[in-house]
A = this chain, B = another copy of it.
Amino acid sequence: MKLNRVLIYGMGLMGGSLSLAIREKFPNTELTAIVRSKKSKESIITNKLADIVFTLDENNEIQWDQFDLVVFSTPVASILELIPNLPKTGSTIYMDLGSTKQSIIEVVDNHFGDVKHNYISTHPMCGSEQTGPEAAVPGLYDDKLCILTKPENGNQSTFEDVKHFWEIIGSWTIQMDAKTHDETLAYVSHLPHVVSTILVNVAGKNKTTMGQVSSIPKAITGGGFRDMSRIAGSNSEMWISIFKENKEFLKHSINDFIEQLTEFRDLFLNTNDLDESRIHSIWDLALKQKETIQKTK
């Protein structure tokens, strides 16, 4: 895989951290960044995240084929608008870091049609509530999982190249089809972000709680609330994009959550006859499944 020239389209935390990783693993690569704002451009220059930086205004006619690799690191909605502009032939490899896959793969399939192509969709499972290129960190992708999704007509050899690229960067890779990806992510990523945000707003709406909060110089919350609210309210633009793209699975996951939470609440309708063994089994199941999901046991 030739990597003389790489374009990172959109450079926030993810794109910026990928720059740092490419600089380390492929020190001879020339990095170009395209960003929306002047502020991002300045931050990228200051932090030396790319060799060449344009804002969209400065470069809206991109010569895609001058790059060996193009990485789309913007919200999914923007990626969907970019794909139809890509040349259908040539050796440039296209890759996105999009958080949902079904809509991307659909647009890729429509755009390339029957032509064999070099577009592979990827999703590195890392990120943060931090945003912007100034949040970029070296090692963000080290020892993380990167999910790869191959469009039907994506070249198998390109898929292998992209897989190899992520492995050199330091990530583990796994292949998933778009539907499986989006359903799984709804449960392990999108729903948790919704739940964290709602949790903060529920506390925030309770007058007694907020009365105490404002009367105390010290945070009243312990580590539980702190961890549960870390991702609350982060990066609304990105999340609105994700929610729109994954609305069916998100709705399913929210409905599942409401159903299980309602069942739990109903256990307390009459605590004179509280089914403690039911709560124990809910708790024990969570402990066991947490270990299974997080691979800690």
**Chain A interface residues (CB < 8 Å from chain B):** 125-128, 144-145, 147, 172, 174, 176, 180, 183-184, 187-189, 191-206, 208-214, 216-234, 236, 239-240, 243-244, 247, 250-251, 253-258, 260-262, 264-265, 268-269, 271, 274, 276, 279-280, 282-290, 292-295
Given A204-B286, A236-B279, A251-B268, 10 new contacts (CB under 8 A): A127-B223, A187-B202, A187-B206, A194-B261, A196-B224, A197-B286, A198-B261, A199-B257, A200-B289, A250-B268
Instruction: Name the contact of A240 in the complex, choosing from B213, B257, B279 (C-beta under 8 A).
Output: B279
Interface centre among A188, A201, A271, by most chain B C-beta atoms within 10 angstroms, is: A188
Interface of A is mostly: helix
Copy tally for this chain in the complex stands at 2
Residues of B within 8 A of A214 (CB): 292
Q: Is the CB of A180 within 8 A of B208?
A: yes
6 sample A-B contacts, Cβ–Cβ < 8 Å, listed by A number? A128-B223, A172-B218, A184-B212, A188-B203, A202-B260, A232-B286
Q: Is the CB of B212 within 8 A of A180?
A: yes
| Complex CA distance for A43 and B245, rounded to whole angstroms | 53
| Complex CA distance for A197 and B263, rounded to whole angstroms | 13
| Complex CA distance for A19 and B222, rounded to whole angstroms | 20
CB distance from A126 to the nearest CB of B (A): 6
